[in-house]
Structure 1
Amino acid sequence: MLQNALIFLLHTLFGLFTLAVLLRFYLQLTNAPFRHPASQAIVSLTNFAVRPLRRFVPSWRGLDLSTLLLAFVAQLLLQLCLLWLRDFPLLVAGSGAWIALLGLCVLSLTKLSIYIFLYAVFVQAILSWLSPHNPMATLLDALTRPVLQPLRKHLPLAGGIDISPLVVFIIAELLLITLVTPLEQQLRVLL
């Protein structure tokens, strides 16, 4: 019972930290408004870890690699802690187990990234119907524009309704069902 509580706590803490760091990465990548209160909150929550790491990991072509590395390390620590709780022999594990572990970390970041955009599109769609002038609208629009804009160019409005969020939901779920989840299951078998 204590082990389950510890697993829950680890998933929550590392998951929230990874979410915050990935949000910071995607907000920077999409040029979301930096002065927005939500952007400022994400920056202030993650600065304690990102700023020191930036001394050693520079940006590359506009990509803040330090935040990506931090998200990856957070997922790696989570997976290592979970394996340690299961009494997995990490010190004698073969290279296949370590490759599977690194692959799980990459898949966790991929899955979380898909969920970030999926929920951002969902919240943006709801806000556009209920409160189109909400202060979050500008931030969500900047975050989802790279995903929705290509679809909006090719999809006509259906009776004045933008169906591109629906297409994003379908594509995201298909990616999760056909690629991410099966790969994750195969890698977990190796551990």
Structure 2
Amino acid sequence: MLLIDILRLLLETAASLLTFCLLLRALMQWVRIHPSNPLSPFIFSMTDWLVKPLRKGVPGYGGIDWASIFGAFVVSFALHIVLVLLTVGLSSGGPGFGSLITLTIPIAIFWVLRNVAYLLMGIVLIQVILSWVNPFSPIASILNELSRPFLEPLRRVLPTIGNVDLSPLVFFLILQIVMMVLQSLMPGF
């Protein structure tokens, strides 16, 4: 059982890293981050092998890189199929192939949505810390651009108190509520 737990940890870590890169790629293209920034080479080298073939069948639409988002779903789906097979196996007591697919699709969707929330939390948290510590860091401008579509509507509504921007705090609360709703829809998630 220990070996399966270790393998599960390694698979979930690798899939999470790849999913974050795919979702970050989609977000970077949605907000039109210039590809010559310091983050793009890493993101593109991590995801090109999956996104380029998917782009042939899943084109971008409405300024959104749907191939990257679908790639995140594919990674999540494959991860959860493998995890079920590792845990339960294909024994006579295990799920049939049809039910395995049917049960894994919603789990994969929720996992991607959860990772979107975690990614946005990470972007905003790092942006807030950098704004205090090193606001002129090359990555700070990228993080500002990535978080702007989410924080700007809140900034228009919320007043600053003593030159403190409360929009990241409110955004975190909103994401926590979203996570609670996701968790209630998918128990054990």
CA contact (8 A) 2:151 2:168 kept: yes
Q: Which amino acid aligns with 2:124?
A: V
Shift of 1:40: 2.0
In the alignment, what sits opposite 2:171? 168
CA contact (8 A) 1:24 1:42 kept: yes
What is the DSSP-based 3-state SS (H/G/I as helix, E as strand, rest coil) of the residue aligned with 1:60? coil
Asked if 1:30 is matched to 2:35, the reply is no
**RMSD between superposed Cα atoms in Å:** 1.6
Matched-pair identity in %: 32
Distance 1:49 1:90 in 2: 28
In the alignment, what sits opposite 1:184? 186
Work out the number of aligned pairs and report it.
184
Task: From 147, 152, 159, give the equivalent of 1:149.
Answer: 152
CA contact (8 A) 1:155 1:163 kept: yes
Shift of 1:67: 0.9
What is the DSSP-based 3-state SS (H/G/I as helix, E as strand, rest coil) of the residue aligned with 1:55? helix
What is the DSSP-based 3-state SS (H/G/I as helix, E as strand, rest coil) of the residue aligned with 1:156? coil
In the alignment, what sits opposite 2:7? 6
Q: Which amino acid aligns with 1:6?
A: L
TM-score (norm 2): 0.91
Structure 1 pair 10/62, CA: closer, same or farther in 2 (3 Å)?
same
Asked if 1:124 is matched to 2:127, the reply is yes
Q: Could you say which structure has the greater relative contact order, defined with CA pairs below 8 angstroms and 6 or more residues apart?
A: 1
Distance 1:160 1:65 in 2: 38
Asked if 1:102 is matched to 2:112, the reply is no
In the alignment, what sits opposite 1:82? 83
In the alignment, what sits opposite 2:43? 42
CA contact (8 A) 1:84 1:90 kept: no
Q: Which amino acid aligns with 2:144?
A: D
Distance 1:33 1:60 in 2: 19
What is the DSSP-based 3-state SS (H/G/I as helix, E as strand, rest coil) of the residue aligned with 2:163? coil
Distance 2:146 2:183 in 1: 25
In the alignment, what sits opposite 1:139? 142
What is the DSSP-based 3-state SS (H/G/I as helix, E as strand, rest coil) of the residue aligned with 1:34? coil
Distance 1:146 1:100 in 2: 34
Q: Which amino acid aligns with 1:182?
A: S
Distance 2:29 2:177 in 1: 27
Distance 2:43 2:134 in 1: 23
User: Any unmatched runs of 5+ in structure 1?
Assistant: none
